[in-house]
Amino acid sequence: MTLVLVANLLVLTIFSGACSDSDRPDVGHRPLQPLIYTEYPGLTPEGAAVRERRLTRQLLEGIADGDWGTLDDDHRRHVDPLLDPQRLGQAITEALLSQDERLWEYVFVSDDAYARLVNVSPAEAQEFVDNQIGGSLPTWELFGRTHSSELPEGGLREQLEFDSLELGRPRDIHGSLTENDEEIVQFWGNRLIIRHADADLSFELPISRIFRLHAPSDPSPSDEEELPLDLQDGDEQGVENSSGHRYHLASEIELSSRLETFLDVGLHLKPQLLRAEEYPFPLGVGTFWRYSRYDAARGRADDDDPLARRFDERPDGLHAEQVIVEVREVSNYGPVRLVELLRSYDDRDHTRVREWWVLTPRRIYLCDASCRDNITDLGALLGYFARQTPLLRFPLRLGTRWGPSGGLDGDGDTFSVDDQWHQVSTPAGTFAASFRIAGTGPLARPNPYFRDVQLLRDFAPRRGVVRRQIFAGEGAREGVDVVEELVEYRIMH
């Protein structure tokens, strides 16, 4: 069956290569999904993606080796058996950090072992295994999301390392709790612990089920090739070596929300990405933006001079006709920066509003007093980030949206980016290819005049916000529609 599918894949590959770009159908990133579903209707979409990827890899390996007879060989050959839980934990961690697909598939229970254990057909066993690997794709893809050029030398393997694998309660083949060593076949409620190499920080990845299988579940190790790990004996790690048993995953590896936040905000990336000359939002000390403010219904008059007009001549409801935003201070705290900004309004009270932003390579958040108090505590910051909505998330892309924790999809989104580029003309110049971002979120808090408002921001990369419209939101007590438009600016690096 595998050779048939691989042959079909080869035909599709040759056919697609013969078509021009204009003739080629839009098949997306999973062109074999209909074929996989036809052959294996019980696969989940994620399981089908795993099957397809394996077939593609087998095809490419067969082409490279010139030996088509090896395509159906067991991909688990020539690797060391996972004799205790800590070896399994090391193998999982290594597979994730190095993005080694062969090792990744090896840590899961094999088709043959599962078929023998629960007495199902080979096809049903393969379907089960592929679905478990497919269910772990979000975790796998999380570790491979970053471009290598953005990582420090050594990448994630220099920052994250295996700590331990904590087994859950032992159970027999039927799932009943047991303390009889001979009856133990599986463990429920396990935790893989990965720690940060330099910070006092650890991440837990839940694993629902791990199988403990007898030796025949895996082929004997070969001297030709060894597992690409410096695995230690279980006894040296304080774990009794379970001679005659093998440990493999029998469920998906769940995401760690803390680790997801760590990687999403970019705390693992090069610190150079936070340099003022590199950052998409210019926030060097001395940078400022001056905006004119006017009622959207009245419009902006070209001869308006807010500084020359008396307070009693200003339109009703417009407290200030200009605002200056300055970057006063930028403090370096390792993988983050704390930026102090001052908003100065030309109203009768000369209103001044100070606010603080915390910058990561991928996010900008408002930083309240609790955030500033814990600015050197990476663990506390991760908890803070997980509860907040970013003001901006990079890289910005057309048509995306985000809400709390920087999530991209789902209900309750706070900010959304228009799916079209905008050319914005202001007194300070015309800014092409600007992002238009709708939503309020935490940006409503620093506004000294209005509550329950909505915002529309035009953001020009490496120039900042060039235009902002503040209008009445649902539940607002009064009509508000004020435009803040860039008049002049200075960018400092």
In a domain, 347, yes or no: yes
Helical H segments across 286-402, by residue range: 369-373, 378-387
For 470, the domain range is 271-490
Q: What angle do CA 320, 322, 324 make, to 5 degrees?
A: 120
The mean pLDDT of 304-330, rounded to a whole number, is 71
Rounded distance between C-alpha atoms, residue 457 and residue 465, angstroms: 7
Residue 352 maps to a domain: yes
Number of structural domains in the chain: 1
Segment 325-336, tens digit of pLDDT: 999 999 999 999
Element containing residue 401 per DSSP (H, E): strand 401-402
Preceding omega of 395 cis (within 30 degrees of 0): yes
More confident residue, 42 or 291: 291
What number is the average pLDDT over the span 76-94? 85
Asked whether residue 56 is assigned to any structural domain, the reply reads: no
Q: How many residues does the chain have?
A: 493
Determine the pLDDT at residue 422.
Answer: 97
pLDDT tens track for 357-389: 999 999 999 999 999 999 999 999 999 999 999
pLDDT digits (tens, 9 = 90+) for 185-234: 999 999 999 999 988 899 999 999 999 998 654 444 333 344 444 444 43
Quick check: is 214 in a domain? Answer: no
Residue 275 lies in a domain: yes
pLDDT at 454: 83
pLDDT of amino acid 493: 85
In a domain, 385, yes or no: yes
CA-based R_g, the chain, Å: 29
Sign of the dihedral through C-alpha 211, 213, 217, 221: positive
Q: Are 485 and 291 in contact (CB under 8 A)?
A: yes
Q: What is the CATH number of the domain that holds 386?
A: 2.40.360
Q: What is the pTM of this model?
A: 0.78
**Angstrom distance (rounded) from CA 141 to CA 137:** 6
178 is a domain residue: no
Spatial neighbors of 280 by CB under 8 A, at least 6 apart, are 392, 394, 395, 396, 461, 462
Cβ contacts of residue 154 below 8 Å, gap of 6+? Answer: none
Instruction: State phi, psi for 438 to the nearest 5 degrees.
Output: -105, 150
196 in any annotated domain:
no
Confidence of residue 153 (pLDDT cuts 50, 70, 90): confident
